[in-house]
Amino acid sequence: MPREPVKLPNRVETLSILAADGRVDTDLEPALDPADLRRLYRTMLTCRRFDERALTLQRQGRLGTYGPSKGQEAASLGVAYALEKDDWLVPTFRETAGLLWRGWPVHTWLLYWGGFEAGNVPPDGVRDLPVSVPIASQCQYGMGLAWGCKLRGAGRVCATFCGDGGTSEGDFHEALNFAGVFNLPLVMVVQNNHWAISVPRSRQTASQTIAQKAIAYGMDGLQVDGNDILAMIVATREAVEKARTGGGPTLIEAVTYRLSMHTTADDPKKYRKDDEVKEWEPRDPLLRFRAYLQKKGLLDEPGEREIDAEIAAEIEQAVRQYEQYRQDPAEFVQYMYAELTPELQAQQAELRAYLERKHAPAPAPVS
């Protein structure tokens, strides 16, 4: 009866394919369709340009609080690329790039950050959930979606996101626990961007990696360079394939960095050093992917100018559409139940009558 290390059946590995300096591990490099590579780059760049535009709009008072994705575009985009149309994606608000790939228009994102519920509605045929604001709570219904996929038996999977801060929440652990117990086709992706507003990753968990938390739930964990689009695609493809064929869940830790603020409501200078940001800037997923495409001869200057112009036009069109959007001010009562309760019918009538009085033209002055 000696004392020995416990042999655990699951693995934790790291994966990186495209280094920050542009070197590629050709053994691991996926063979991707050049047209797809160009489209991926275009989506990543759209996300970055949208971020910049959204920040300006927010500063001008034309958009509400905004949470940028800058620096994290590859993590969600790689996951989205590895999914099929009928798979599910459960995002937080930093998965803009992935959702753009899945077909969410820029206009819808503007509606969301502009304060309209319509910004939560995915386009027809897109099986994505809207963003979830209460941290990590979405892990539970992401797990439930994977559960439904398994019970339906149609080979569908669900990719669910949260951040490094989210891994401190009970929902994250409960969802992984259920996914392990029921062997669910869940790909749980943690975007470890190192900061939960002002609290660093080291204050969220004492474990060396987030990926290793997989072991406790009976699944494999993979720590991926989240700024490496190729590694994210390869890792997710592997996890999706495993999930689709009954192999159960995987935890992917996408190691990335929030190059910008948490949202427009905080100033990162207050809690983190500029030097740290400067260290991460050369590891920017967009720069890296661009260099990769240039080296492969898939992107040249005229091509870039063309893409830039297309994206600028797309965003301007979306901004116009967003700013022209009008909402029935009494609409918010409408969607509480499939059929309004008598009390809500009365409240809606009361509201409509009030709005009519409020907006009625002023009576003509009597002289």
Partner 1 sequence: MAQLTMVKALNLALAEAMRENPNVLVLGQDVGLDEGVFRVTEGLLQEFGPDRCIDTPLAEAAIVGGGIGLAFTGFLPVCELQFDGFSFQAFHQVENHVRRFRNRTRGRYTCPLVIRMPYGGGIRAVEHHSEAPEATYAHLAGLKVVIPSGPRNARALLRAAILDPDPVIFFEPKAVYRAFREEVPDAPETMPIGKGVVARPGKDVTLIAYGAMLRVALDAAEELADEHDVDAEVLDLLSVSPLDGELINESVRRTGRAVVVHEAPRHCGVGAEIVARIVEGSLLYLEAPVKRVTGYDTIIPYFQNELTYLPDPARVVAAALETVRF
Binding region for partner 1 (CB under 8 A): 88, 117-118, 120-122, 129-130, 132, 134, 137, 139-149, 151-152, 158, 170-171, 174-175, 177-178, 181, 332, 335-338, 341-343
We find the least distance from the C-beta atom of residue 139 to partner 1, in angstroms, to be 8
Cβ proximity to partner 1: between 271 and 332 the closer is 332
Q: In a 10 Å sphere around its CB, with 0-12 CB exposed, 13-18 middle and 19+ buried, how is residue 69 labelled?
A: buried
Choose the catalytic residue: 107, 262, 283, 288: 262
Q: Closest approach of Cβ 338 to partner 1, in Å?
A: 4
The minimum distance between CB 337 and partner 1, in angstroms, equals: 5
Contact 89, 129 (CB under 8 A): yes
Catalytic residue from among 42, 102, 194, 258: 258
Tokens coding 166: 């989210």
Residues 191 and 254: their CA atoms lie apart, in Å, by 5
For residues 121 and 330, which CB has a smaller minimum distance to partner 1 in the complex?
A: 121
Is residue 352 a contact partner of residue 344, using CB atoms and an 8 Å limit?
no
Of 9, 70, 23, 32, whose CA–CA distance to 232 is shortest? 32
- φ, ψ for residue 229, nearest 5 deg: -60, -35
At closest approach, how far in Å is the CB of 109 from partner 1?
Answer: 15
Q: Which is nearer to partner 1, 159 or 261 (CB)?
A: 159
Determine whether 271 is an active site residue. yes
From CA 172, how far away is CA 275, in angstroms rounded? Answer: 31
Q: Which is nearer to partner 1, 81 or 172 (CB)?
A: 172
Helices (H), the chain: 34-59, 73-82, 96-102, 106-113, 138-152, 170-181, 201-204, 213-216, 229-244, 274-280, 285-295, 301-324, 342-359
Rounded to whole angstroms, the Cα distance separating 16 from 9 reads 23
Nearer to partner 1, 71 or 130 (CB): 130
* CA atoms within 13 A of residue 85's CA, in its CB half-sphere: 5
**107 is a catalytic site residue:** no
Q: Considering the complex, what minimum distance in angstroms separates the CB of residue 146 from partner 1?
A: 7
194 is catalytic: no
Q: Name the catalytic one among 23, 39, 59, 271.
A: 271
Residues known to be catalytic? 258, 262, 271
